[in-house]
């Protein structure tokens, strides 16, 4: 059954590629207000695609920022697990343009690779999941799991309204596992399943010093320069081995012996890593 789905995907490769090129041609840059119409157009394209492949309950949710597109297929039954697939249809700006060999919104195939803004981050990735679902439904007529898609339009600006959206739709988004369709593989022939990513913390540190200039010859040793103090604070966040020194930071970071052994077996090419 799985092989039949793969055969379907192979035989429709050209069609799927053309559809992806159509999506990649939409300049859905979330950071620039002049591209708001393109953002809406990309959201509608994703929703239309969800309907076309057989998903149900497809909706575009308008948030305080850019829309979230939702669709699901739930006919695997109540005992089957539910997978929530996350992705984003917005892209980064394209500057500097002179670094591009081709127009970033005129997708171009070169040496077997498809070049366009969003080809890998992230339109190409979630498109692959959509086409996998379609291939199953077109051949087996059903999926082995229930599946939901949540595709947002603000990832490239930090997803400022996604948390609120999730809180408002917890029941609709409930799932047994979440699959982030926005990650990395080691090589074209080495797929990967990522189950943990580093997060980000935004904070503002204010260092206050004298309210007027002080002569360094008189006060240099007694009064610390706020700029130097700030450098010291930042430098102290990590030790010489790169470990974070904040007390309690690693309390909830768990990596058991089996996980370490599994990770150690993953092929790793240092030279390729350096080039990337």
At 2, is the pLDDT very low, low, confident or very high (cuts 50, 70, 90)?
Answer: low
What 3-state DSSP class applies to 125?
A: helix
Convert the pLDDT of each residue in 64-91 to its tens digit. 999 999 999 999 999 999 999 999 999 9
pLDDT band with cut points at 50, 70 and 90 for residue 200: confident
The helix/strand/coil state of 216 is helix
C-beta of residue 60 within 8 angstroms of C-beta of residue 67: yes
Helix crossing, 123-139 with 2-11: angle to 10°?
120
% of the chain residues with pLDDT over 90: 81
Provide the CA 258 distance to its chain's centre, in angstroms.
27
Average pLDDT over residues 2-8: 86
The pTM for the full model equals 0.85
Quick one: tokens of 57?
């309950």
pLDDT at 54: 97
Q: What pLDDT, on the 0 to 100 scale, is given for residue 84?
A: 98
- Domain assignments of the chain as residue spans, ordered by start: 2-180, 216-275
> 48-84: b or e for each residue (b if 16 or more CB lie within 10 Å)?
ebbeebebeebebbebebbbbbbbbbbebeeebebbb
**Alpha-carbon dihedral of residues 249, 251, 253, 254, nearest 10 degrees?**
160
Q: What percent of the chain has pLDDT over 70?
A: 99
Q: Which residues have a catalytic role annotated?
A: 90, 155
Cα separation, 185 vs 276, in Å, equals: 12
For 244-262, write each residue's pLDDT tens digit. 999 999 998 888 999 999 9
Which CATH class for the 2-180 domain? alpha beta
Backbone angles phi, psi at 76, to 5 degrees: -75, -15
Average pLDDT over residues 207-233: 91
């Amino acid at each position: 059954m799985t092989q039949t789905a793969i055969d379907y995907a192979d035989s429709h490769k050209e069609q799927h590629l053309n559809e992806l090129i159509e999506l990649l041609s939409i300049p859905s840059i979330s950071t620039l207000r002049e591209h708001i119409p393109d953002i809406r157009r990309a959201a509608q394209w994703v929703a239309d695609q969800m309907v076309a492949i057989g998903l149900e309950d497809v909706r575009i949710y308008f948030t305080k920022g850019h829309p979230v597109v939702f669709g699901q297929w739930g006919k695997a039954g109540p005992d089957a697990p539910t997978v929530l697939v996350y992705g984003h249809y917005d892209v980064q700006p394209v500057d500097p343009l002179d670094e591009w060999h081709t127009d970033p919104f005129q997708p171009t195939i070169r040496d077997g690779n498809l070049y366009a803004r969003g080809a890998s981050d992230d339109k190409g990735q979630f498109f692959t999941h959509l086409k996998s679902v379609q291939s199953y439904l077109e051949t087996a007529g059903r999926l082995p799991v229930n599946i939901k898609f949540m595709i947002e339009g603000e990832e490239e600006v930090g997803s400022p309204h996604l948390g609120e959206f999730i809180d408002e739709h917890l029941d609709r988004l409930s799932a047994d596992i979440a699959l982030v369709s926005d990650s990395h593989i080691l090589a074209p022939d080495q797929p990967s399943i990522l189950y943990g990513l580093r997060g980000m913390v935004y904070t503002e540190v204010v260092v206050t010093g004298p309210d007027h200039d002080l002569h360094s010859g008189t006060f240099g040793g007694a009064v610390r320069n706020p700029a130097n103090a700030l450098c010291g604070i930042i430098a102290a966040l990590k030790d010489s081995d790169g470990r974070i020194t904040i007390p309690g930071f690693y309390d909830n970071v768990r990596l058991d012996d089996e996980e370490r052994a599994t990770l150690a077996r993953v092929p790793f090419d240092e030279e390729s890593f350096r080039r990337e």
